[in-house]
A and B are shown apart, each in its own frame.
Chain A
Amino acid sequence: MTMQPDRRERWLRIIAPACVGVVVLALWQALVVVYRVPVYLVPSPLVVARTLVSDRVLLFHALASTLGVALAALAVAIVAGVGAALLFAQSRWIETSLFPYAILLQVTPIVSIAPLIIIWVHDLWVALVLCAVVVAIFPVISNTTLGLRSADPGLADLFRIAGASRWQTLWRLRVPGALPYFFGGLRIASGLALIGAVVAEFVAGTGGASAGLAYQILLAGMQLDIPRMFAALALIAAAGVALFAVTSVLAHAALARWHESELPREP
């Protein structure tokens, strides 16, 4: 039985990485068992999986908390980042005056400003979201600005000949042309929002109702509960992959019809 080439490729894209994962996990399990590595150094994958099940209430509550911060930060980064890009696209003067500050936001390590934000902002959840926004917003601003500036010059001339208003040129030419760039930025920002949320939780170091995965890692480290540490790590990684997948699906839905990046390749 032969499959359609594109279906076969789709299966390959799922099966090949899955095989790599299974092999790595099996190797890890075997090494830990054969060399009798103590569980407080490197727990075996099976032990980590068992911890994920036994501590599920604690861990998934923490995951929901971290993911909530990351998603809220991503939403704010999209709205504020696209807003800033639209502002920058209005004139060279605005862009030249403000863009260096956007870069400043990007190059300042979040660990060094997170304590300040946490002191200034009383609501801890808002402070965590703000920290994650600082980390995630730059790719959205920078990519969207680039996209808005990259309109086909011929089409721009055509809009001028037709006497198009500023608004028409923005809405009908610059915004659709910027979409591929925006989604490229969003893909990077989704991972950064999660990183920002985790780093902010580390700096805040608070437990209680809003305790996230970073706090569980800190706590597990102090208690030398290494399997739980690994389980929390696995959940962070899985959340990152899921966020990436969601943004990829969104990009595909928006661009599949026309943009080169989402078109099927010729066999």
Chain B
Amino acid sequence: MTGSAAGSTLIELSGIAKTWPNGIGALTGIDLDIRRGEFLTLVGPSGCGKSTLLKLIAGLTRPTQGRVIARGGPPRIGFVFQAPTLMPWARVSANVRLPLDLARMPRAHADARVADALARVGLVAFAGSLPRELSGGMQMRVSIARALVTEPDLLLMDEPFGALDEFTRQRMDGELLALWSAQRLTVVFVTHSIQEAVFLSTRVAAMAARPGRIVDAWEIDEPCPRTDAFRLSPAFAAHAQRLSLRVAEAGGSELDRAIAR
């Protein structure tokens, strides 16, 4: 896997459809390449199947039709959920070490990796804390450290900052972008926030519901690293407007379309 060029395809989704056992279609006609080094964001209203798509990529659920093809073997995956999803009985260090413990990595080696991952999210001083002693934002950072500790080829994030307040969320967005560029991560990020999607991504995919599908996808070809000035730029506004129009046109009612205009 190492040495693969940035921009080459990591995972290819072709002709994916997913139908629930009760006959309701969750996803249909999904064709999407996930490219090495990109920050791809899936945006759409609730019920458009963006979380299901993430689970398909992670191999947690199987498509009814179509194939998920991993180019160059199965990638190592880090997953960050909307909730921190930590083990409440285990200290921060043990929570972060979990994927390494499950892979039976020797303790000394694992501890070095844990210290490194905690340093990356700025939580070294809290290695011995219990999750309940941390704030929501700090718990989320523990969750990100746990996803990074395996040095994943692909980081999947399902509305990770959705439960945080706006200020914390913006700070976390900035920290995530810094990690992404420093570690050359490949990220697939799910959100229903158009602002967050445009700020973070190198590429966005607008999704619509009933059935879940991708209605448009394009590159956000703006320089990185991104600053708060980017949030105020005309380019940001243009991308945000296009994104909200696409999402509204495809899925929403007349009212949604009127509001989007």
Contacts and interface: CB of A to CB of B under 8 A. Distances in A.
Chains A and B form a bound pair = yes
Nearest to A259: B88
B130 A161 contact: no
Interface stretch (B97-105, B112-120, B200-208): B97-105
B235 interface: no
Interface string A203-227: 0000000000000000000000000
Given A158-B98, A176-B87, A258-B88, A163 B103 contact: yes
Interface string B87-101: 111100000001101
A162 B98 contact: yes
B60 interface: yes
Chain B interface bracket (under 10, 10 to 19, 20 to 34, 35 or more): 20 to 34
A6 interface: no
B74 to A, nearest CB: 10
Q: Which of A163, A173, A257, A258 has the most CB of B within 10 A?
A: A258
A162 B87 contact: no
Nearest to B81: A154
A157 B60 contact: yes
A161 B59 contact: yes
B79 A168 contact: no
B77 interface: yes
Interface string B218-243: 00000000000000000000000000
Q: Which of A154, A163, A259 has the most CB of B within 10 A?
A: A154
B101 A157 contact: no
Contact of B85 (A158, A176, A263): A158
B85 A161 contact: no
A162 B60 contact: no
A25 interface: no
A159 B130 contact: no
B143 to A, nearest CB: 10
A55 interface: no
B215 interface: no
Interface string A156-171: 0111111110001000
Interface in A217-267: 257-259, 263
Contacts of A172: 98, 101-102
A9 interface: no
A262 to B, nearest CB: 12
B58 interface: yes
Interface in B14-60: 55, 58-60
A155 B87 contact: yes
B132 interface: yes
Contacts of A154: 81, 83, 85
A157 B102 CA distance: 13
Given A157-B60, A158-B79, A161-B77, A257 B130 contact: yes
Interface of A: 152, 154-155, 157-164, 168, 172-173, 176, 179, 257-259, 263
6 contacts: A152-B85, A157-B55, A162-B103, A163-B103, A168-B102, A172-B98
